[in-house]
Amino acid sequence: MKTIEKILYHIKYEGPVTAKVLADKFQLTTMGIRQHLQAMEEQGLVDAYDVKVKVGRPTRHWQLTSQGHQHFSDHHAELAIQTLDAVSDLFGQQGLQAIIAQREQQTLTHYQAAIADCPDLKSKLMTLTELRQRDGYMAELINDDHGFLLIENHCPICLAATRCPSLCHSELTIFQHLLGENTLIQRQEHIITGQRRCAYRITSK
């Protein structure tokens, strides 16, 4: 993977970052990283903002632009939108909701089979994270003092979900049915509302 691709993936997963952090991460000089970032800025993939510090000059942080996020977009997204529009035109909202419900049930059945032998919430979430990773969500799981945080750094259905918000509601419904009524799931961050990722706080009731 080229250095520029590595930088894009790092910012996608970790959020805004300084050139020094990237230099340490990839064992390159800070000057070399800055040259890559400047080239990426010229391509419209990243931009920068300064953060004031108590002592010294402000620290420059680099983040993905909308174009940078689109670098990870599903190439079939436009086809998915066209399909949703066609279903809506031919069969109305009732037909569209039937399609979404069918997708929801198929996904739930697939996930249920995968976690069938998982003995506890943690193992279920680890398996779910792996499944979501395979599905293109750039998923990761964090276990902290407040429970679990399932993070999805990318949404391959983002454009379709923007057009049809029921898809996002369906995702949350799948998680709730999968993990059971004794598990509380709260979406704390949401890509289609302008945040850089989707994040779900998951705790046992």
pLDDT at 77 over 70: no
pLDDT at 82 over 70: yes
Question: What's the predicted TM-score (pTM) here?
Answer: 0.77
Q: What is the pLDDT of residues 17-58, one digit of tens each?
A: 999 999 999 999 999 999 999 999 999 999 999 998 888 889
pLDDT at 152 over 90: yes
According to the model, what pLDDT value does residue 142 have?
96
Spell out the long-range contacts of 45-52 with Cβ–Cβ below 8 A and sequence spacing 24 or more.
45/8, 45/71, 46/11, 49/16
According to the model, what pLDDT value does residue 182 have?
93
Query: pLDDT tier at 74 (50, 70, 90 boundaries)?
Result: low
Q: By CB neighbour count within 10 A (0-12 exposed, 13-18 middle, 19+ buried), where does 133 fall?
A: middle
Torsion of Cα atoms, 127 then 195 then 88 then 86, to 10° = -90
Q: What is the pLDDT of residues 121-151, one digit of tens each?
A: 999 999 999 999 999 899 999 999 999 999 9
pLDDT at 11 over 70: yes
Distance, in Å, from the CA atom of 123 to the CA atom of 135, rounded to the nearest integer, reads 19
Find where tokens 């996930």 sit: 111
According to the model, what pLDDT value does residue 87 have?
85
| Beta carbons within 10 angstroms of residue 130's beta carbon | 13
Task: Identify whether the C-beta of residue 150 lies closer than 8 Å to the C-beta of residue 202.
Answer: yes
Distance, in Å, from the CA atom of 106 to the CA atom of 103, rounded to the nearest integer, reads 5
